[in-house]
């Protein structure tokens, strides 16, 4: 999201506007609105602001209402960063929406620890047991279920096959040194190698997180957080490797002011053929096509390269999915909605129309896109998994990772300073 936490990591999009959240607060927290005719209104907060997802989700809400005549679904949609800010404020105020987007991890844990989230272990057992285990993991805290996933995925490089061919790059690189060579070849051809939304910090964080995984190994990121120490050599080296990339000036002109999903942003630069690559999640093709033209058959996917001499493996993946959690005391209608959203029929529709990777095994046959199949194959073969850092860690630490890495990319922080800043914030969180 990622920042996002989708960094992140959901279908992100054009800013939903500052006023959205304020009007929506009326129904938050406390009891859901009950109409005089016995109807229950449930609020559903999500980050699906790009097409086709926005329309598909609205239609699903209508379908649920048709099946449950006594229930009304009020949808509140916000762009990723605005959503995170609003949810931080709501968490502090002690009121959360009935149904809300979550990436799981440390952010969800903070909300759970504050007593704001419904324990779904028993209320969802009849359908949650059938979901993919890797998809459920970010929402399991102390072996209790606090969220239900609707997709799962990973971050990797999305690239333009035609631009690679023009630059004489026969195969996607599998090592960091090979990746830097590919960047040099693209630059020599006059092609912008990478698009980056520098204005939104989470897309840059992906680079540092993956490089840390490749130098230190996947499990080291959680260990560093637990130990509150990111100053070890592998984390400094990760920053140095990122510095090597930044020094090549690989990003599009004006990248520090660029957003992710606007018509002049990161996704559009790739979707319109103006940049050869972006490091992004499984939702990338949908957003590229919504904010730009999309690349069609010219779009390819490859995993983040291995670092020479690093302890990590190319089969260790970084990512996460999207899920929904409920506020504590949410009505049965909200649980029913989660069941509807996780049903095979709904998941098949989400796979076919919005390109998600299915969380219900029975829906896998609906996957036809070769790139999404490639992502799924990487996920299934994964030997390690790390959730987006700005979701895995407590919010203040996740934010510091994003900010520090953003400063390195902008040229105002050294690799050593990044490691020290994150460590300082982690220690203050005790």
pLDDT confidence of residue 403 = 96
Given a contact cutoff of 8 angstroms between Cβ atoms, the answer to whether 303 and 375 are in contact is: no
Instruction: Work out the angle at residue 105's Cα, subtended by the Cα atoms of residues 201 and 3, and round it to the nearest 5 degrees.
Output: 10
Report how far residue 406's alpha carbon sits from residue 410's, in angstroms, rounded to the nearest whole number: 6
The pLDDT, as a whole number, for residue 248 is 98
pLDDT at position 32 is 53
Give the pLDDT of residue 395. 86
CB-based contacts of 152, cutoff 8 Å, min separation 6: 132, 134, 135, 319, 320, 321, 357, 359, 379
pTM above 0.85, yes or no: no
The pLDDT score that the predictor gives to residue 33 is 60
pLDDT of residue 260: 95
Over residues 365-388, mean pLDDT: 89
Res 1: pLDDT? 39
pLDDT at 430 over 80: no
User: Which residues touch 318 (CB under 8 Å, ≥6 apart)?
Assistant: 154, 155, 206, 209, 210, 213, 304, 385, 386, 388
Distance, CA of 164 to chain centre: 26
The answer, yes or no, to whether residue 412 has pLDDT greater than 60, is: yes
**Whats the size of the chain, residue-wise?**
430
* pLDDT beyond 70 at 343: yes
Which of the four pLDDT bands, split at 50, 70 and 90, describes residue 379? confident
Write the pLDDT tens digit of every residue in 288-337.
999 999 999 999 999 999 999 999 999 999 999 899 999 999 999 999 99
Alpha-carbon torsion (235, 241, 247, 252), positive or negative: negative
Average pLDDT, the chain: 90
Neighbouring residues of 44: CB distance < 8 A, sequence distance ≥ 6: 61, 73, 74, 75, 76, 97, 98, 99, 100, 324, 337
Using pLDDT thresholds of 50, 70 and 90, give the confidence band for residue 2: very low
Report whether pLDDT(4) > 80. no
Task: Please tell me the predicted confidence (pLDDT) of residue 429.
Answer: 84
Mean pLDDT of 193-218: 97
Contact 204, 239 (CB under 8 A): no
Q: What is the mean pLDDT of residues 231-248?
A: 98
pLDDT for 339 beyond 80:
yes
User: For residues 17 and 172, which has the higher predicted lDDT (pLDDT)?
Assistant: 172
DSSP annotation string for 49-86: -STTHHHHHHHHHHHHHHH-TTEEEEEEE--HHHHHHH
Confidence of residue 219 (pLDDT cuts 50, 70, 90): very high
Please give the domain boundaries of the chain with CATH numbers for all domains: 20-153+320-382 (3.40.190.10), 156-318+394-428 (3.40.190.10)
pLDDT for 111 beyond 90: yes
So what's the pLDDT on residue 19? 26
pLDDT higher than threshold 90 for residue 30: no
Q: Stretch 10-20: mean pLDDT, rounded?
A: 26
> What's the half-sphere exposure (Cβ side, CA atoms, 13 Å) at 101?
34
Q: Write the pLDDT tens digit of every residue in 249-302.
A: 999 999 999 999 999 999 999 999 999 999 999 999 989 999 999 999 999 999
User: Which pLDDT does position 35 carry in this prediction?
Assistant: 65
Q: Please determine, for residue 116, whether its predicted confidence score (pLDDT) is greater than 60.
A: yes
- Statement: residue 345 has pLDDT above 70: yes
- The reported pLDDT for the residue numbered 299 is 97
DSSP helix/strand/coil, 40: strand
**Nearest Cα residue to 313 out of 385, 388, 214, 387:** 214
pLDDT at 34: 63
């Amino acid at each position: 999201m990622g920042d996002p936490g989708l960094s992140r990591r959901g279908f992100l999009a054009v800013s939903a506007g500052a006023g959205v959240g304020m009007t929506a607060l009326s129904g938050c927290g406390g009891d859901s609105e009950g109409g005089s005719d016995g109807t229950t209104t449930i609020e559903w907060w999500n980050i699906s602001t790009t097409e086709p997802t926005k329309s598909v989700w609205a239609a699903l809400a209508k379908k649920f209402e048709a099946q449950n005549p006594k229930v009304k679904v009020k949808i509140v949609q916000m762009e990723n960063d605005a959503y995170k800010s609003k949810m931080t404020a709501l968490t502090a105020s002690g009121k959360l929406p009935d149904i809300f987007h979550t990436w799981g991890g440390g952010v969800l844990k903070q909300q759970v620890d504050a007593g704001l989230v419904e324990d779904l272990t028993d209320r969802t057992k009849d359908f949650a047991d059938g979901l993919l285990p890797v998809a459920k993991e970010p929402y399991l805290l102390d072996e209790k279920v606090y969220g239900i996933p609707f997709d799962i995925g990973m971050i990797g490089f999305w690239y333009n096959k035609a631009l690679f061919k023009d630059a004489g790059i026969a195969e996607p690189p599998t090592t960091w040194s090979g990746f830097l060579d590919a960047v040099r070849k693209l630059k020599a051809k006059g092609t912008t190698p990478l698009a980056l939304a520098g204005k939104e910090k989470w897309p840059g964080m992906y680079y540092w997180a993956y490089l840390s995984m490749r130098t230190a190994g996947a499990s080291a990121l959680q260990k560093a957080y637990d130990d509150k120490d990111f100053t070890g050599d592998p984390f400094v080296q990760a920053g140095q490797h990122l510095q090597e990339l930044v020094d090549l000036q690989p990003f599009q002109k004006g990248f520090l002011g660029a957003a992710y999903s606007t018509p002049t942003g990161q996704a559009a630069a790739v979707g319109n053929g103006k940049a050869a690559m972006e490091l992004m999640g499984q939702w990338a093709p949908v957003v590229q096509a919504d904010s730009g033209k999309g690349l069609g058959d010219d779009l390819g996917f490859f995993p983040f390269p291995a670092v020479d001499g690093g302890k990590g493996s190319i089969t260790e993946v970084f990512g996460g999915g999207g899920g929904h959690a409920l506020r504590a005391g949410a009505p049965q209608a909200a649980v029913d909605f989660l069941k509807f959203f996780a049903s095979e029929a709904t998941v098949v529709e989400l796979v076919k129309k919005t390109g998600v990777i299915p969380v219900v095994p029975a829906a896998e046959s609906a996957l036809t896109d070769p790139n999404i199949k490639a992502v799924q194959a990487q996920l299934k073969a994964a030997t390690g998994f790390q959730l987006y850092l700005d979701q895995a860690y407590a919010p203040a630490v996740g934010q510091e990772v994003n900010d520090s890495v953003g400063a390195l990319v902008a040229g105002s922080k050294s690799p050593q300073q990044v490691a020290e800043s994150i460590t300082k914030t982690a220690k203050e969180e005790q």
